[in-house]
Amino acid sequence: MAGAKISNHSPEDFLEQIKKEERGKLKVYLGSAAGVGKTFRMLAEGKNLQKNGVDVIIGYMEPHERPETIAQAEGLEVVPPHNVKHNNLSLKEMDVDAILKRQPKVALVDELAHSNAPGSRHRKRYEDVQELLDAGISVITTLNVQHLESLYNIIEDATGVRVAERIPDSVVAKADFIVDVDLEAEELIERLKAGKIYRLDRIDTALNNFFTVKNLTRLREITLSETAKMLDLRQREVLPSKSKPSSHLDVMYVLTGEEENPGTMLRKTKRLADQLNAVWYVVHIATLDEETRVMSPKRQTLAKALDLAKHMGAHVITIKAEDIALAVTQFARANGITHIVVDRPEPRTWKNLFKKTYFDILAKNLPEVDIVVG
The CA–CA distances, whole Å, from 106 to 58, 137, 335 equal: 9, 6, 43
Collect all residues with Cβ–Cβ distance below 8 Å to 316 and sequence separation of at least 6.
281, 282, 283, 284, 306, 309, 310
How far apart, in whole angstroms, are the C-alpha atoms of residue 279 and residue 175? Answer: 19
What is the layout of strands, in order, in the sheet containing 77-78?
5-6, 177-181, 26-31, 138-144, 106-109, 56-60, 77-78
Question: What is the structure's pLDDT at 244?
Answer: 41
Question: What is the structure's pLDDT at 68?
Answer: 87
Question: What is the structure's pLDDT at 101?
Answer: 97
Q: Residue 26 forms beta bridges with which residues? A: 139
One-letter amino acid at 23 equals R
How far apart, in whole angstroms, are the C-alpha atoms of residue 198 and residue 113? Answer: 19
CA 256, 258, 260, 266: dihedral to nearest 10 degrees? 0
How far apart, in whole angstroms, are the C-alpha atoms of residue 219 and residue 18? Answer: 31
Provide φ and ψ at 9, rounded to 5°: -160, 165
pLDDT string in tens for the chain (374-residue length): 444 445 556 667 777 776 666 789 999 999 999 999 999 999 999 999 999 999 999 999 987 778 888 999 999 999 999 988 878 788 899 999 999 999 999 999 999 999 999 989 999 999 999 999 999 999 999 999 999 999 999 999 988 889 999 999 989 988 989 999 988 889 999 988 888 888 887 888 888 888 899 999 999 999 988 887 776 666 665 554 444 444 578 999 999 888 888 999 999 999 999 888 889 999 999 888 776 766 678 888 888 999 999 999 999 999 888 888 899 999 999 888 999 998 876 665 555 545 567 778 888 899 999 988 87
How far apart, in whole angstroms, are the C-alpha atoms of residue 113 and residue 155? Answer: 16
One-letter amino acid at 299 equals R
Question: What is the structure's pLDDT at 351?
Answer: 54
Q: Is the separation of the CB atoms in 107 and 59 below 8 Å?
A: yes
How far apart, in whole angstroms, are the C-alpha atoms of residue 125 and residue 369? Answer: 40
Q: Is the separation of the CB atoms in 30 and 143 below 8 Å?
A: yes
* Helix-then-strand count for the chain, H and E: 15, 14
Q: Which domains does the chain have, with CATH numbers?
A: 5-237 (3.40.50.300), 245-373 (3.40.50.620)
Question: What is the structure's pLDDT at 126?
Answer: 97
Residue 25: half-sphere exposure toward Cβ, Cα within 13 Å: 20
Question: What is the structure's pLDDT at 294?
Answer: 63
Q: What is the CA radius of gyration of the chain?
A: 23
Q: DSSP for 38-58?
A: HHHHHHHHHHHHHHTT--EEE
Q: DSSP for 362-373?
A: HHHH-TTSEEEE
How far apart, in whole angstroms, are the C-alpha atoms of residue 263 and residue 244? Answer: 32
Helix (H) or strand (E) holding 8: none
Q: Is the separation of the CB atoms in 57 and 79 below 8 Å?
A: yes
Question: What is the structure's pLDDT at 246?
Answer: 41
